Each structure stands twice: as C-alpha cells, then as structure tokens.
Structure 1
Amino acid sequence: MRTGEEIRDSEKQSRRGIVCAGNFIVDRVHTLSYWPEQGNLAHIVHQDVGVGGGAANVVADLASLGFPGKLGAAGCIGADIDGEIVKTRLVDAGIDIGGLQVLSGRATAHTHVMNVPGQNRTFFYHGGANDAVTDALISPAIFAEAGYRLFYLGYLMLLPGLDGIDADGRSGASRLLEAARNAGLTTCVDFVSSEDPEFAAKVGVSLPYCDFLIINEIEAERATGVTVRDANGDLIEAGLLTAGERLLAAGVAKGAIIHAPEICFWFTPGAAPVVTRSRPVDPTEIVSTVGAGDAFCAAVLYGLHENWPVERTCAIAHAAAARCLGGATATDGVPDMSVLLADANEMHPV
C-alpha cells in the first residue's frame, strides 16, 4: 500500500505546468560606446526594448524552449504603455496572464540597462507595480486547481511587499510559498543580488518553504555569510560546498542549486553534491550578460518538470546561459530546447 506522501507525489506528477510569480519589468537596454566619467557624454550606439525581471524572463525563456506544458504568470503591472508591452510579449508567447494584475495607481516596473560590450552591465531601476506585490495579490490555489505543478517565485530581495519581515517573524514571501505548498505545488525560488544588509535574514525566513532554490554564487554568499570568491575574484569551491550545506540546513527541502559562470553545484539532502562545469564562452560572442542567470534557471525548471537526471539538467542549463549571452535583451538569445540538447551533448554527453 502506498503512503500518503507517495500518493501526493504521484498526484503532483500528473500535473503539467509552471507558473512564474514575481517581477515583471520592461528593460531598455542601451549599448554604450564606453562608460563615461560623471559629467561626460557617451553615445548610445544601440538600443533594445525587452521584458525583464525574474518571473517574466523565466516564463518567457520556458516558452522559447518549447516547454511542453502550461505556462502562467502572476504579479503586478501598471495601466500604461510598459504594461501593454509586458502583456503583449507574454500573450504572443502563449503564456496565461490571468494572474497578472493591473494596478491603475502604479507605473509598470522598468529598468534602464547600461551595457558596454565586454564589461558588466549597470542597472537603473524603478520598482513601480512590482513594489506593490503582496502575498494577498497572488493565489497559488488557483493555479493548483488549474493543474499546474511548479510554482516559481523570483526575485526575492526585489519585491519589498514580500521581503519585509513582520512581527511574527514571517515575510510575505514565506507566506506565499507556504500557500503554494499547501495547494500542492512544488516551490522554486530565486534571489536578486541585492546589497541589503538584511539579505540573509529576509531570505532566510522563506527557506523552510522552498523546495528548490536556484541562485548564483554571490546570492549564496549573501544568504549564508560564506565567502565564495577570493580577493582576485577566483571561485572558492570549498566555500560553495559549505554554502550549499548551510542552505539545506536552513530548510531548503529538495535541492539547492548554486550556479556561477564557471560551475554549478546541485545539493540534495542526504546525497553528495553534483558538480558540473561550464564550457568557456568566447568574449567576442557575448552581446550582453543580461538574463543569463534566468536562462539557467528556466532550463533547471524545465528539467525538474520533466524529471530529467540532475547531470543532464545542469548541462542544459549551462548551455541555456551561454546561448543567452548572444542576445541583446534578457530573453532573445534563448533557443528551442532541441538546440540546447545538441549544445549540452557537446559539453557533457547526456
């Protein structure tokens, strides 16, 4: 006879779909001739407009990958031109926007991304409607009833209505993730690389309600206090191992995935971590680094949903991030999954 937990797991596997909740942003990516000193002038040599933010990027990437299930979006936008850009982008990709609320008193969140080829990008951000997102405005139960399986929330530390800790020691994010779990959804979480001094405390209260955590090495350091890069910027792999163990100990239930440009560590309770290394990308092929981490995350969610082996999922996620580097916006470099499967087989036979 099957246990109650086995029955619940079986019911989850019969569901098909991923809902992405959190940030929906319009990105205006300006490619500059150089980065000017204060008071000087630089030319904008190219400009692209795209939809960005954790939830928007991940759900759009999943659509680009040809995800074989339902895709839904949940969050807030403004009643403005940028809000229409978000809705049009998602609807054109076949994504259900029924969970996307329009707030008349807020502007749609937007970012001016300053990109100098070969250098890190710089962001100028207005939170707008994203700042108004609370756990009361998103209903995971609706998506569970519609047959979705995975509930992604991103980015924590860029959703002030969810990040703050209340008098009960809980955050809106922790309550939202708990509601998703109670509805039968598997919860997946991503952070943004905020420098908030309360980073560890704010994300920490959500970890016990997180099934899978998918973050980069900088976010792992800020969440755990473990140094992961030395003074020269080189990765400290022993530090990543410690950080992963601490995330599991803090309550992450099924998997903590820490990715960096060089490597990925996948931690599972009671098992040795799985380590996969990326293939170096020719700097001349990098158009923009915007969205590479979200492409990695989208591929991980795809693999989780399809029950792929961890090694295969990580190889494909590395390939997704590498392909994203060739696009100007956060999502336009992500190809169909068939392309990533071929890329991954070249890097790591799977």
Structure 2
Amino acid sequence: MTTLAPRQGIACAGNWIVDIVHSIDAWPQKSELVRIRHEATGVGGGAANVILDLAAFQTGLPLYAVGLIGTDTHADLCLAACKAAKVDTRWLKQTATHPTAHTQVMNVPGDSRTFFYHPGANDALAESDIPVEAIAAENAKIFYLGYPNLLATLDAVEPDGETPAARLLSRARAAGMITCVDLVSAANADFAATVKATLPHADYLFLNEIEAARATNRADIAPDDRARLLEAATALQAAGAKTVILHTGTLALWLEDAALWSSPDPVDPAEILSPVGAGDAFCAGAIYAIHQGQGPAQALRLGHKAAAASLKGATATDGIPPLAVLNL
C-alpha cells in the first residue's frame, strides 16, 4: 500500500501589481500642489504581497506564484522579487498585449492611503491561464486567490451567477487543495455578486469591514462595531464560506463553529511608515498558521504580528521579518 505524502506548499493566484508609494504630508485640495517627501517602489497586489510575505518568513515552504504580467520593466521587477525570494514562477505568465498592472499610492503617514490603479494584465488573467490541477499535482496544500473584484475576466458574472474565479476555486478543492479567498475594497457595481459566486467554494474568506459591508449590501460598518461585523460575517458564512476571517485596524474576527475575537498589540505611530500592505500581511500570517494546522487563536496572533511588522516598511512587503523574529 502506497502512503501519500502530506500536502505542503502554498500557491498564490491573482493580482500582481507594482506599487509606486508616495509619502505626502497631506491630501491636497483640487488643483493644489503637494510635495512628495519619500518615494518607494515595490511589488504589490494580493497574490504578490501574500506570497512575498510568506517567503519573508523563511520557513522553507514551497511557494508558487500564479498570475499574469506584461513584458515591461514592471514585469522585470515582479520576476526579480520572486527570484530573490526563491518563489517558483513557472505559472506567473507573461503577455505582450497588456502592461503589468501598477498603482500610484498616495500615503499620508499616520492617516490614510489612496490608490490610482492601472489594471493592465490583471484584467486579462483568464481561467485558462491558471492550471489548477498541475499546481495540485505539485502537492500544494493551499490555493489562495486575491483579489476578486480586481480581476475583470475572472470576475465576469455569468447568467447562472457563476464566475470563472468560482470555477477555479471549485477545481482547486476538487484537486485536494484548501481554498483561501482574499477580498479588496473596490467600488464595483457587481461587488456583492462577484463575491457571492466564490463563497460556496471558499474554505477561508479574508476581508475587512469595508468589504464586509459591500459584500453583504450593508451600510458602512465601523471597524470596532462587533455586532455589525459579526452580523455581516454570519451572512457570508450562511451564503457558503466555511470560515470567515474579518480583520480591521483594531480587531479581528474568526467565525467558524463559533466567533473568536482578537485585538492587536498597539503600534507606536512614530514607527509607521505605510499601511499599504498590512491587510495582506495579516492574511499571510493567518494562512501560514492554517497550513501548519494551528488553531484560530494562533492564526489571528500571527496575522496581527505580521500586519504590525508590515506597517514599519515603506512598501507592501519590505517590513516582514523571518518567522523566528516575528514570534519573539
């Protein structure tokens, strides 16, 4: 009798973006000039941030980059970042017909950040570009998809309510992988419908309070309103998501069989360079704990620690230390 080796490794599919982060003193009024105090360029987007954060943990897990980039200098930056992090890029495809997605990020330290986004190749990423069964054949344990609502081709809602993204997740599950879906705060008319299609195929759903409100067609939810956050998470679970992990700047909720709340340790505002990658860092920490079979409390703890570390970096991923340091 042949005993199959336990699955190991994480595939991160979806958005690959180059972020050009500008730190400014304040948001200007229309037609006013504001001085850029600092500029940093780095790889961003759900799939890119999560996989590079996981690589920064230096745990030795197999990591697989999945997505679509162009053939330009931004693409070179994505590939170089993966090479430096020892991430497998065989499924990070390139196209000559679309530029690599990129974002101009305006960051007001200690206050807010605003994104000007060019979707480029992300909008062209299709179901046929992601060989789910081949990824599963590498014995990958987790298939992550981020972000629905920033992947136009995969987001297209068909007459039966299905989307190509939902089919990818269904195939990933059928191939033996755990599925993680990570949302983004996009203001799309079809936001709720796009999310709804993925829910029955999501083992773990990651989102913040803005996304929770939009996904459930609710009014805005305050980041510390536990009653309304739980109400939204419960609705998403009822619609099919097995586990809902809702995180804000002040707390997190893990809703599976019961609700578990967790709050992060405070971070000195003087140490915060940029919040641009904090949500994805939280996701990476929690996903690592899920991969290792750790419980919800440990997953939330590691998520909070990774998010706090991310705040101290100028780009989405450059503040993440090795796991041994993070756990000190």
Deviations 1:318-346 (A, max 9, x none): 1111111010000001111112212xxxx
Show the counterpart of 1:176. Answer: 168
1:338 has 2:327 as partner: no
1:245 has 2:237 as partner: no
Q: Give the direction of change, closer, same or farther, for the CA distance of 1:318–1:40 in structure 2 (3 Å limit).
A: same
Q: CA RMSD in A?
A: 1.4
State how many pairs are aligned. 326
Q: Any idea what SS the aligned residue of 1:144 has?
A: helix
Do the aligned residues in 2 keep the contact of 1:228 with 1:236 (CA within 8 Å)? Answer: no
Deviations 1:52-95 (A, max 9, x none): 00000000000001233100011100011110100010111000
1:197 is displaced (CA, Å) by 2.7
Deviations 1:259-286 (A, max 9, x none): 1111111011xx2211111122222211
Do the aligned residues in 1 keep the contact of 2:24 with 2:36 (CA within 8 Å)? Answer: yes
The answer to which of 146-155 and 113-122 deviates more is: 113-122
Show the counterpart of 2:314. Answer: 328
Show the counterpart of 1:264. Answer: 252
The whole-number CA distance in structure 1 between the counterparts of 2:250 and 2:217 is 21
Show the counterpart of 1:288. Answer: 274
Do the aligned residues in 2 keep the contact of 1:177 with 1:209 (CA within 8 Å)? Answer: yes
Do the aligned residues in 2 keep the contact of 1:226 with 1:242 (CA within 8 Å)? Answer: no
1:224 has 2:216 as partner: yes
Q: Give the direction of change, closer, same or farther, for the CA distance of 1:228–1:339 in structure 2 (3 Å limit).
A: farther
Show the counterpart of 1:345. Answer: none
1:122 is displaced (CA, Å) by 0.9
The answer to which of 213-222 and 100-109 deviates more is: 213-222
The whole-number CA distance in structure 2 between the counterparts of 1:64 and 1:142 is 25
1:45 is displaced (CA, Å) by 1.6
Identity, in percent, stands at: 45
1:215 has 2:207 as partner: yes
Q: Any idea what SS the aligned residue of 2:327 has?
A: helix
Q: Any idea what SS the aligned residue of 2:39 has?
A: strand
Q: Any idea what SS the aligned residue of 2:29 has?
A: coil
Deviations 1:114-133 (A, max 9, x none): 11212211111100010101
Structure 1 letter corresponding to 2:318: D
Q: Any idea what SS the aligned residue of 1:72 has?
A: strand
Show the counterpart of 2:31. Answer: 39
Do the aligned residues in 2 keep the contact of 1:215 with 1:257 (CA within 8 Å)? Answer: yes
1:191 has 2:183 as partner: yes
Give 1:55's match in structure 2, choosing from 43, 47, 51: 47
Do the aligned residues in 2 keep the contact of 1:67 with 1:302 (CA within 8 Å)? Answer: no
The whole-number CA distance in structure 2 between the counterparts of 1:227 and 1:266 is 21
Deviations 1:135-172 (A, max 9, x none): 11101111110111100000111111111111232111
Give 1:121's match in structure 2, choosing from 102, 108, 113: 113
TM-score (norm 2): 0.96
Give 2:151's match in structure 1, choosing from 130, 154, 159: 159
Do the aligned residues in 2 keep the contact of 1:228 with 1:237 (CA within 8 Å)? Answer: no
Structure 2, gaps ≥5 residues long: none
> Which runs of structure 2 are paired with 1:83-102 in the superposition (5 Å)?
83-102=75-94
The whole-number CA distance in structure 1 between the counterparts of 2:185 and 2:91 is 26
Deviations 1:23-60 (A, max 9, x none): 00011111123322222211112111100000000000
1:198 is displaced (CA, Å) by 2.1
Do the aligned residues in 1 keep the contact of 2:55 with 2:87 (CA within 8 Å)? Answer: yes
Structure 1, gaps ≥5 residues long: 1-9, 343-350
Structure 1 letter corresponding to 2:255: F
The whole-number CA distance in structure 2 between the counterparts of 1:124 and 1:30 is 11
The whole-number CA distance in structure 1 between the counterparts of 2:295 and 2:161 is 37
Do the aligned residues in 1 keep the contact of 2:223 with 2:249 (CA within 8 Å)? Answer: no
Show the counterpart of 2:96. Answer: 104
Q: Any idea what SS the aligned residue of 2:192 has?
A: helix
The whole-number CA distance in structure 1 between the counterparts of 2:91 and 2:62 is 13
Q: Any idea what SS the aligned residue of 2:139 has?
A: coil
TM-score (norm 1): 0.90
The whole-number CA distance in structure 1 between the counterparts of 2:46 and 2:283 is 9
